[in-house]
Chain A
């Protein structure tokens, strides 16, 4: 299934708006309600969807653009997440024959596994940048509670993103070609 450029552009704009809304929830609404210790990093979930469910040469650029918007809400910047997104996308490509997101449970497990790849990459780079590998375990551990919650939410968000990007609901790993 191929998407026309106008469809792609519209899907991207809607995804961007969704990301901004979810980032505002994470950075303002949840802390205002007292949830300050752990963050729900929705940008990771959206990029995981693009990396796992889409098959297009444009995905790296989409990841870059989404991370640019994420950098408005976090000092993490765009580069770290872009690199992690690329690594996840390449891992998903490598494993495409065994990835079948047919049930909500499978989606949660897959998302959790790829989140671990993502966070190990990000933590490694941060430790390299700050030249302090003693903090590796501590930083990685700080991601875990939020990542489990994200995995639980992932079937719903993947369903929504599937509608936006017109990915077939049967959960084939490579839904859309652009």
Chain B
């Protein structure tokens, strides 16, 4: 009896200690920004190369699946012929992939040329393993100049911002996540609103008054307010507007411009230090002409 009591006592103490730790952790937790701990830095740097390797071998894996594993039971002759065809197709596919990648990267680079930011191109190597968060992991980190809160884009539009960063990897909170709120503008009417992630890879546009002349098909761009995203980046398109019988605002559904299903490469924008340095030089030109020494 005494033994049972002792054991129960230990269990209660352990439960209490871990419970208090968990509650403290929850109270400190932020879903919009995160400091990287030593533990996180170390384990991420060890594990993420495996993720990167697997992400890179995606094409080979799906090719192997489609072209080899599914034809195991065909005749030998067929196998030889199909292997030849597969090898040729593989070569062709590799060339086609290189061509497509080239096109994508060219588009990405020319798109971001217009912005006064340094650019770091990165590859998506993983997604958040929890259901409720829409976060992607990139194969570039502090060593490549990436900083927390840096905006992330593609040639199609806004992806999100850097949530946490280690030496060689960065996690990006995408606009699909409910914790990411983007200040946007409807391109046609210049009306401001907030885009939030909802469900099914869709977003919601909030705080648009009922009397605003918004229409299905209207395009959304970043408003440049809030200091994270540059102004004018494509965010998405309005696909559904619901006017409820109550409330002052509209319920608006938005499809992001970026196809997150096919997201492979992204650009991380880092505010250019050169642009910041040259800014003070412009100040004297604002001095009234009457105060200028002639």
Contacts and interface: CB of A to CB of B under 8 A. Distances in A.
The answer to whether A and B belong to the same complex is: yes
Interface of A: 20, 23-24, 26-29, 31-34, 36-39, 41, 43, 57-61, 63-64, 68-80, 82-83, 86, 89-90, 122-123, 125-126, 129-130, 132, 135, 138-139, 141-143, 146
B260 interface: yes
The 10 residue pairs across chains A and B that have the minimum distance between CB atoms: A79-B25, A60-B18, A32-B58, A73-B129, A82-B22, A74-B130, A83-B22, A57-B10, A76-B130, A27-B129
A28 B128 contact: no
A17 to B, nearest CB: 11
Contacts of B17: 60
B26 interface: yes
B51 A146 contact: no
Interface string B7-44: 10011001101110111111011010010000110011
Nearest to A142: B131
Chain B, interface size category, equals 35 or more
Contacts of A141: 199
B25 A75 contact: no
A125 B26 contact: yes
Contacts of B173: 75
Nearest to B128: A74
Contacts of A39: 127-131
A80 B29 contact: yes
B100 to A, nearest CB: 17
B54 interface: yes
Contacts of A59: 14
Nearest to B39: A68
Given A60-B14, A63-B18, A79-B26, A74 B199 contact: no
Point out which of B15, B22, B62, B133 has the most chain A C-beta atoms below 10 A from its C-beta: B22
Contact of B54 (A28, A76, A130): A28
A159 B89 CA distance: 42
Contacts of B51: 24, 27-28
B137 interface: yes
B15 to A, nearest CB: 5
A89 B14 CA distance: 12
A58 B11 CA distance: 8
A59 B15 CA distance: 9
B133 A86 contact: no
A75 B21 contact: no
Contacts of A74: 128-130, 133, 135
Interface string B161-185: 0011000000101000011000000
Contact of A130 (B22, B31, B58, B171): B31
30 contacts: A20-B47, A23-B129, A28-B127, A32-B54, A33-B62, A37-B200, A37-B201, A60-B17, A60-B18, A61-B18, A64-B22, A68-B39, A70-B129, A71-B40, A73-B129, A76-B132, A78-B25, A79-B24, A83-B22, A86-B18, A86-B19, A125-B26, A126-B132, A129-B26, A129-B29, A130-B179, A138-B199, A142-B131, A143-B131, A143-B132
Nearest to A126: B132
B18 A146 contact: no
B15 A90 contact: yes
A146 B19 CA distance: 27
A79 B199 contact: no
A71 B7 CA distance: 30
Contacts of B15: 60, 86, 89-90
A139 B131 CA distance: 9
Contacts of A64: 18, 21-22
Contacts of A138: 198-199
A63 B17 CA distance: 13
Contact of A31 (B14, B40, B126): B126
Nearest to A58: B14
Contacts of A38: 131
Contacts of B22: 64, 78-80, 82-83, 86
Contacts of A71: 40
A138 B201 CA distance: 13
